[in-house]
Amino acid sequence: VKKIQSNRITAVQGDASDLNHLDRLIDIIRETKGRLDIIFANAASCSFARFGTITEKHFDETFNVNVKGVLFTIQKALPILVNRSSIIINGSNSSNKGDPDLTVYCATKAALRSFARCMTVDLKERQIRVNTLSPGAIDTPLLRSMG
């Protein structure tokens, strides 16, 4: 963001699973921009665990970022999201297939796809479009570090 040097972009660091951080994010957007035209909800936590070894901590951490964070980011932004705007949720093709050792991650991405379908109906009167992108694996340092 610093390299772009645009007054149209504001970077806000926070934890998508922490509702207080989301409140701060929306407050900053409201104060600096006044409104939102597009939300690109892109939060992800991914770690491997065989089905028989999934712990409550693993489950909670993954769902808190991937599902809770996305849902409440969008919900908290609704008051400043203009009619006829767009919500784009970053899903994964893992929501449609089984990936080894990624049971919880795949379930979170399937939940996002389902949320998007329901939000489309709920936000129809405001003509807000809701779409889910479902890319495959993207070569990033994070992906390479996972093996």
Would you please indicate which residues are annotated as catalytic (active-site) residues? Answer: 105
Give the tokens for residue 73.
């980011």
- Cα angle: 9, vertex 12, 16; to 5 degrees: 125
Single-letter code of the amino acid located at 48: F
DSSP string across 110-124: HHHHHHHHHHHHHTG
Q: Which residues contact 93 (CB under 8 A, 6 or more apart)?
A: 134, 135, 136
Single-letter code of the amino acid located at 135: P
Helix (H, G, I), strand (E, B) or coil at 110: helix
Residue with tokens 């990033």: 140
Can you state the percent helix, strand and coil of the chain, rounding each to 5?
50, 15, 35
